[in-house]
Structure formats: structure tokens, C-alpha cells
Structure 1
Amino acid sequence: MSRVNKLTYMAVLVAIATYASALIWFPAGVAKAYPVQHAINVIAAVLLGPIPAVVIAFVTSLLRNLLGTGSLLAFPGSMIGAFLAGYLYQKTNRMWTASLGEVIGTGVIAPLFAVPYAKVFMGTTVGAFFFLPSFLVSSLSGAVIGLILVKRLVKLKVWKLKF
């Protein structure tokens, strides 16, 4: 895949995640769940790899914060999940491991990073269990959607990539 193609796919995924986050969300405990971000993480992890998936997650989080549709907690959650999704898929070559990586990365590991992050950047002092249910619900719903979508994309040969 050429560099231009990869950058174009990345830009399209950022645009979809940013726009859909303003439209599709639901309350999940102390935070809002944005399943499209997690679905895009799974799709990017499988189709592009871990580093592009992290870049997509970062740019999407940045844009969502600038547009007022996200919080600062979007950064550690989405980026850790995207990396772990891409890494696990790269190691196993099984799509379901990308979804599992997204759920573990965003739903379990990210709340641990969110505690000091929230203290420094947001001025709140809460425990990891405060963020865990919200992160888990959001990542699980998006990871399932992402797995379904990426399986369809691969089956329909929409993406011109080697699988």
C-alpha cells in the first residue's frame, strides 16, 4: 500500500470517528460512551496496524476536544486501546483479538492511566474503579461493532489490502 493510500484511509477514519462521535453516543456512568471511536480503533488496527491506529485515535481525540464533543480522558482511553488492538492483531492475525485488545486496552488498562492523568490535567482525584465501568461499557460496545464492520469490509474486499 502506498503512503498516500494509507494517509487517505487514516484521514477518512478520523473524519468518520470525529463526525459520528457528535451523533452517536449514550450515557455510561460518569462519562459518555462513544462506540464509534472504539469501532474505528478496531477497524484501523486490523486494516492499517498499531501505529496508524494510535495516530488516528490521537487525532480524533484532539479534534473531538477542540470541537467540544470529547473530554481529556479520550486521549489515554482511545490510544491505549488502539495500540493494544493493533498489536494483538499483528501477533495473532485474528480479528477478534483486535476487539479483545480494544476492550482490555480501553476498558481495563486506560482507567489505571486515567487516575493520575485526571489529577494532573483535570484537577480531580478519583480511583480507577470510578472510570472502569464507563470505559468498559464504551469500549465493549464499540469493539463489537468494529469487529462486525471489519469482518464485512474484508469479506466484501472494500479495502485493497493484503490480508
Structure 2
Amino acid sequence: MKTRKLTFTAIFIALNVVLSSLLVIPVGPIKAAPVQHLINVLCAVFVGPWFGLAQAFISSLLRLLFNTGSAFAFPGSMVGVLLASLFYSYRKHIFMAAVGEVIGTGIIGSLMCLPVAWFIGLTDVAEKPLMLTFLVSSILGAVISYIVLMILKRKGLLDRFLK
């Protein structure tokens, strides 16, 4: 069971780092990546909160090192995957994972980024543009992941992966 989760986590990290550079929503110093949110919802369903947190942290770190992300990725992605996992664990419904990601990243994560902005000297980053950027990015990623997971579920593949 642990080997499967580690394998999925490694695959999700690789996909996240590579695909996040293809679709970025830049707003000032923020580089919001809907792929991160797509991967977070997949992690919530496939590997749970702890491996999901590891994926979010490592992916954010690698994206920062490769200059395809920013420091704002850490609080947003980590809170998003945690809430998505907790919501999914509570109801075992894919929609709840997507909702958890949007609330975790789009609302809570964006508010947690404000001290990061102030700490690195970006006092001109306002709450509304930051939250709007995170909301748009997380909704886009959550919708895509919901569609992917529903297709896997309808084809009977999701149950095979989760065994």
C-alpha cells in the first residue's frame, strides 16, 4: 500500500513540475498554476493528506527552484491538498475533494499568502487580486480534475487504482 502511494506521489510531482510550466496565470509576482490544483485533487483521492502534503511541498519547492513558481505556491497548495483530502475522506465523493481544494487554496491559502507577500517586501499585493487569482486557478484545476476522475470512475478504472 505504501509503495503504491509513494509511486503515485512521485508521478504526481513529476507531472506537476513539468505541466505547471505550460499553463501559468501571472499576476505580478504570483504564478498561479491550475495544474497544481488538478494534481492536488488527484492526490486527495489517490494518496490522501500526508502524501498529498509531501507532493505539494516538493512540487512547490521544485517549481520555485526551476523558476516556474513562486513562494506563494507553498501555503496555497499545501492547504488546498490538505482540505481536499479531508473533505474527500469525510464523504468519499470526488466533488467534495474539488470543493476542498477551492476553499483551501482559493480562500484560505490566498489569505495565508499575504504575510508571505509582506515578508518579502511586496506591500502592494492587495487581497482581492491575490484571492481572485488563486480562486480562478483553483477552480480551473479542480474542474479539470473532477472531469478526469469522473471519466476514470465511469470506465471502472478509478476503483482499480484505489484498491
What TM-score do you get using the length of structure 2 for normalisation?
A: 0.90
User: Is the 1:111–1:129 Cα contact (8 Å) retained in structure 2?
Assistant: no
User: Kindly, what percent of the aligned residue pairs are identical?
Assistant: 43
Shift of 1:148: 1.0
Shift of 1:152: 2.3
After superposition, residues 54-93 of structure 1 pair within 5 angstroms as: 54-93=53-92
Tell me what 1:160 maps to.
Answer: 161
2-side partners of 1:24 and 1:129: how far apart? Answer: 22
Query: Which amino acid is 2:121 matched to?
Result: G
Distance in 2 (CA, whole Å) between partners of 1:26 and 1:136 is 11
Name stretches of at least 5 consecutive residues in structure 2 with no aligned partner.
Answer: none
Q: Matched residues in 2 for 1:85 and 1:18: separation?
A: 20
> Are 2:39 and 1:40 equivalent residues in the alignment?
yes
The CA distance in 1 between the partners of 2:25 and 2:121, in whole Å, is 25
- Structure 1 runs (4+) deviating above 4 angstroms are none
Q: Distance in 1 between matches of 2:110 and 2:138?
A: 12
SS in 2 for 1:137: helix
SS in 1 for 2:31: strand
In the alignment, the residues of structure 1 paired with residue 70 and residue 31 of structure 2 have an alpha-carbon distance, to the nearest angstrom, of 9
Q: Which residue of 2 aligns with 1:123?
A: 121
Partner of 2:51: 52
Find the residue that maps to 1:23 and give its secondary structure: coil
Unaligned 5+ residue runs, structure 1? Answer: none
Aligned Cα RMSD in Å?
A: 1.6
